[in-house]
Amino acid sequence: MLHRLNNINLYAPENHGICNILIAAGKIIAISKEPIAIDLNLLASDEDFTGKKVVPGIIDAHAHITGGGGEAGFKTKVPALNLSQYTKAGVTTVIGLLGTDDTTRNTSSVIAQVYALREEGLSAWCYTGGYHIPLSTLTDSVRKDMVHIEPIIGVGELAISDHRSSQPTFDEIARIAGDVHVAGIMTGKAGIVHFHLGDGSRKLDLIEKLLDETEIPARVLNPTHCNRNIPLFEQACELTKRGITIDVTAFPPTDSVEEYSAAESFRRYMKGKFDKEKFTISSDGGGCLPHFDEQGELLYLDYGRCTLLSDTLKELLDEGYKLEEVIAVFTSNVAKLLRLNNKGKLEVGKDADLIILDDDNKIESVMALGQWHQKNYKTIRFGGFEV
């Protein structure tokens, strides 16, 4: 299946101007300012995109692909996300994980869902473990999980500074981070611990202590939900100066003045002139987002959606931020941290995962691994049980 995309404004994420792109067998095989000559009989599609922008597909590094939740009784377990819930948002790569419920859900079911998404045409990997220690692993160790099971690229989301955590000790966390780092070296995988941060007043102190007192490289330690409260966000931004990549969550809109939206986090991060490559945004898609009072009693429940990523992208572009800077936090920055070498950039030899944006910064079409999933604002590929 060859596709030729003509006269398209290429953001790889850096802008290359008007280009023509040839795609074959799920890969980008040519990019040229000149017309790309090819036997027309070989082309499955040959389209003109004059006036349109193309950007890499979004890598969502934090999604509850089996469905998460269950934090207000069993009936609040969120169902697994359907294929088009990713692609509608421009997500072409997803990293699945477990959170609070690492008891009735386990690493085995996350891996099975990774395989299901791959069969449906998405790129997917996962973390092993979940909120709690001992970690829910498939084998008897994190290192074996990472070394022997191809989709597993690290540990997450391991909860700290949260009333739902295992109240892990420094030694426990240091041991896990060390094991993940070694397995990352052995396999070339991401080798990171993706930490869930709660609202606890200890914030990122445990991660600071790991930097101060162990030899574990900063890149291994990757906190998420860093925008859930303002002091946490400020500490997280400072930690990027020590080499940490921080992740913020595209939470559903709220009236809270205590947290920053993903878009507001981006604005503040850029204004603060922190390292542009050390900031990413993920969805928490499929996760339930409970709000508790100070006694841990549930106030109300919401759930994460991948489309909040594309909403955030549009919000920032509408404000006039440069497309290449905004799209990097959803794509190339994530690929770099996760060592996904074929992802996050539109270059010859990389996977053909791309989004066509219209003049209003809305997603018009989405291609994953060389296949159109969304075309002219319509879903054209559905998951197994969607229709």
**Binding residues with Zn ion: total (CB under 5 A):** 3
Partners of 290 in beta bridges: 301
Distance set, CA 236 to CA 221, 248, 264, 269 (Å): 11, 10, 15, 10
Of 6 and 166, which has the nearer Cβ to Zn ion? 166
Over the window 366 to 385, marking each residue x when it contacts Zn ion by CB under 5 A and - when it does not, the resulting string is --------------------
Whether the Cβ atoms of residue 323 and residue 172 lie closer than 8 Å to each other: no
Q: Which stretch binds Zn ion (CB under 5 A): 3-11, 157-165, 266-274, 330-338?
A: 157-165
Q: Which stretch binds Zn ion (CB under 5 A): 17-25, 49-57, 101-109, 189-197?
A: 189-197
20: left (phi over 0), alpha (psi -120 to 50) or beta: beta
Question: Rounded to the nearest whole angstrom, what is the least distance from the CB of residue 128 to Zn ion in the complex?
Answer: 15
Give me the count of residues in the chain.
387
Q: Which stretch binds Zn ion (CB under 5 A): 84-92, 139-147, 192-200, 237-245?
A: 192-200
Of 300 and 385, which has the nearer Cβ to Zn ion? 300
Of 334 and 357, which has the nearer Cβ to Zn ion? 334
Q: For residue 26, what are its two tokens? A: 């799920």
* Element holding 365 (H helix, E strand): strand 363-368
Q: In degrees to the nearest 10, what's the CA dihedral of 269, 270, 275, 276? A: 110
Question: Rounded to the nearest whole angstrom, what is the least distance from the CB of residue 61 to Zn ion in the complex?
Answer: 12
Q: Which stretch binds Zn ion (CB under 5 A): 91-99, 232-240, 307-315, 379-387?
A: 91-99
Of 99 and 191, which has the nearer Cβ to Zn ion? 99
Whether the Cβ atoms of residue 148 and residue 183 lie closer than 8 Å to each other: no
Of 132 and 196, which has the nearer Cβ to Zn ion? 196
Of 87 and 165, which has the nearer Cβ to Zn ion? 165
User: What does the alpha-carbon distance between residue 76 and residue 70 come to, in Å, rounded to a whole number?
Assistant: 5
User: What does the alpha-carbon distance between residue 367 and residue 92 come to, in Å, rounded to a whole number?
Assistant: 8
Question: Rounded to the nearest whole angstrom, what is the least distance from the CB of residue 235 to Zn ion in the complex?
Answer: 17
Question: Rounded to the nearest whole angstrom, what is the least distance from the CB of residue 211 to Zn ion in the complex?
Answer: 22
Q: Which stretch binds Zn ion (CB under 5 A): 98-106, 140-148, 295-303, 373-381?
A: 98-106
Strand bridging mode 298-303 / 288-292: antiparallel
- Regarding 350 and contact with Zn ion (CB under 5 A), the answer is no
The answer to whether 360 is a known catalytic residue is no
Question: Rounded to the nearest whole angstrom, what is the least distance from the CB of residue 21 to Zn ion in the complex?
Answer: 36
Over the window 303 to 342, marking each residue x when it contacts Zn ion by CB under 5 A and - when it does not, the resulting string is ----------------------------------------
Of 151 and 285, which has the nearer Cβ to Zn ion? 285
Question: Rounded to the nearest whole angstrom, what is the least distance from the CB of residue 186 to Zn ion in the complex?
Answer: 27
Per-residue buried b or exposed e for 235-262, using 16+ beta carbons within 10 Å of the residue's own CB: bbbebbeeebbbbbbbbeeeeeeebbbb
Strand bridging mode 91-96 / 123-128: parallel
Cβ neighbours of residue 258 closer than 8 Å, sequence gap 6 or more: 229, 230
Among 88, 196, 219, 350, binds Zn ion (CB under 5 A): 196
Question: Rounded to the nearest whole angstrom, what is the least distance from the CB of residue 162 to Zn ion in the complex?
Answer: 8
Whether the Cβ atoms of residue 249 and residue 227 lie closer than 8 Å to each other: yes
Which one of 60, 145, 247, 284 is the catalytic residue?
A: 284
∠ CA 175-180-186, nearest 5°, is 130
Residues that bind Zn ion (CB under 5 A): 99, 157, 196
What is the set of active-site residues? 284
